[in-house]
Amino acid sequence: MMEQDAFDFVIIGGGPAGEAAAYMARARGASVAVVDRELFGGSCPFWACMPSKTLLHAAAVHAGGGDYDWSHASDRRDYMINREGTDTPSDEGHEHGLEAAGAVAIRGTARLAGPGTVVVSGAAEDRTLRARHVVIAVGSAPTIPSIEGLESITPWTNREATTTRTLPESLVVLGAGPTGIEMAQVFARFGVPTVLVAPHETVNPKDHPRNSAAIEAGLRRDGVDIRTGVRAVHIEARAATSGAHRVQLSDGSSVEGHEILLAVGRTFPLSDLGLDTIGVDVSSRPPAVTPDLRIADGVFLIGDPSGPEMHTHLAHYQGEIAVRIALGDKVRPDYSAIPRAVYTDPEAAGVGLTLEQAIDAGFDVFEEVVDLAMTAKGYVAEASGHVTIVVDRRSRSLRGAFIAGPAASEVIHEAVLAIKTQTTIDVLADTIHAFPTTARVMGGLFAQALRRLEDGT
């Protein structure tokens, strides 16, 4: 074995988690190899976060009467993902960035072959890497559900939805989580008849109910036909007179779309990584991850498969933390204040626990809520939504905060920091917030909460 094939870290997966781990390791002087079988950078810059947010921006301008037609939006998206004039985006920037930092970027399919050994295939011959630490950062892939007739069509996943250069004649979106709701709004705002099939009674069901209600209202305003509490049970290819696919739903009704977007969840690609060679069984469930992100001695699992939630920002955080742990820092990941956001119109964001979750966890809490439409920000921006905070009486601190409305994804970070640092309501209420902003609205709730604490109610 050649000396250059021995590394302090071998990172399997070059997405946000893997890149963050690589850059942190190189900053600390460790030798690094990063292996990716497709695009360095992962899904986020090419198939997910960046193209979807670019299209959401274009759709918002278009819906507001701006000069931003689909051709312009598609071209701008291609520019953002380095795909101008080609079918596959270029990841040269990500690859060159890793190499400039001193990492070795290897394109191929990696699998473990025992402790500290990674075999990479894909070139003329396999390449064997030795590693003091292996970091698995393979992300996730769209879940393909079991629906009768699905095999008779070629459905879209987030890849096709975020990279199509042609608007579909009509669209059915199966699943109403972040991908489903964001892409439904994009296409509806560009005039595509769009049906959103939500298997739960609310859209974005893991969000705060007020956030979900605000998102649903925004989608309906834009013309999205939302079917809640139903699932697709059968698909008939090109069965409609228009040539669209017909989707039979669990309540006996049907919907039609020329394209079917699958947005029903994510699957973790762990089965082909050779984890059995280090004693880890993934045949029936994801492996158990220790509080320090390990699944075996010298092997870390970060990003989507590690949990507790799936976000690019969490993956990046775990990548850095895993390397610090491996190099001996006395740190552990802190998941007490993970921000969540969706970028629909209105935006919705949250952190921490809802009132019900906090009560179930045994906290003595109360909730303060304001209708954003009745605030200065609501008046000047002609905006609706809400700001909600959940306050712990005993610690006089925040347990949760939730916002739907302008700049929700930015404003939420004051609450993120407050929860992480356990900043008291006394300090938050004494903090000056610029007028008239959504942050100022939340500041008003801090003042209301302080009065309630002082009154003992």
What's the DSSP call for residue 148?
Answer: B
| Per-residue confidence in pLDDT tens, the chain, 457 aa | 344 599 999 999 999 999 999 999 999 999 999 999 999 999 999 999 999 999 999 999 999 999 999 999 999 999 999 999 999 999 999 999 999 999 999 999 999 999 999 999 987 789 999 999 999 999 999 999 999 999 999 999 999 999 999 999 999 999 999 999 999 999 999 999 999 999 999 999 999 999 999 999 999 999 999 999 999 999 999 999 999 999 999 999 999 999 999 999 999 999 999 999 999 998 878 899 999 999 999 999 999 999 999 999 999 999 999 999 999 999 999 999 999 999 999 999 999 999 999 999 999 999 999 999 999 999 999 999 999 999 999 999 999 999 999 999 999 999 999 999 999 999 999 999 999 999 999 999 999 999 999 999 8
DSSP code of residue 81: T
What is the identity of the amino acid at 137?
A
Do the domains 150-265 and 346-455 sit in the same CATH topology, yes or no?
no
Q: What is the pTM for the complete model shown?
A: 0.95
What was the pLDDT predicted at 59?
98
Query: Alpha-carbon distance 197 to 231, whole Å?
Result: 7
Assign domain 150-265 to its CATH architecture. 3-Layer(bba) Sandwich (3.50)
- Which residue blocks in 111-208 are alpha helix, DSSP H? 158-163, 178-189
CA distance 231 to 193: 19
Q: Which CATH number among 3.20.20.70, 3.40.50.300, 1.20.5.510, 3.30.390.30 corresponds to the domain 346-455?
A: 3.30.390.30
Q: How many CA atoms lie within 13 A of 69 on its CB side?
A: 2
Sequence-distant (6+) residues with CB within 8 A of 328 are none
Length of the chain as a residue count: 457
- The predicted pLDDT at position 329 comes to 98
Distance, first Cα to last Cα, the chain: 70
Return d(Cα 173, Cα 157) in angstroms, integer.
Answer: 10
3-state secondary structure of 227: strand
Strand partners, 371: 386
Nearest alpha carbon to residue 296 among 322, 276, 278: 278
| Fold of the domain built from segment(s) 3-42+91-140+268-326 | FAD/NAD(P)-binding domain (3.50.50)
| Beta carbons within 8 Å of 60's beta carbon, 6+ residues apart | 189, 345
| CA 178 – CA 263 distance, rounded (Å) | 9
What pLDDT is attached to residue 3? 43
Domain residue limits, the chain: 3-42+91-140+268-326, 150-265, 346-455
Task: Give, in order, the Cα–Cα distances in Å from 123 to each of 35, 120, 135, 239, 348.
Answer: 12, 8, 22, 44, 45
Task: Report the SS3 class of residue 94.
Answer: helix
SS3 content of the chain, % helix, strand, coil (to 5): 35, 25, 40
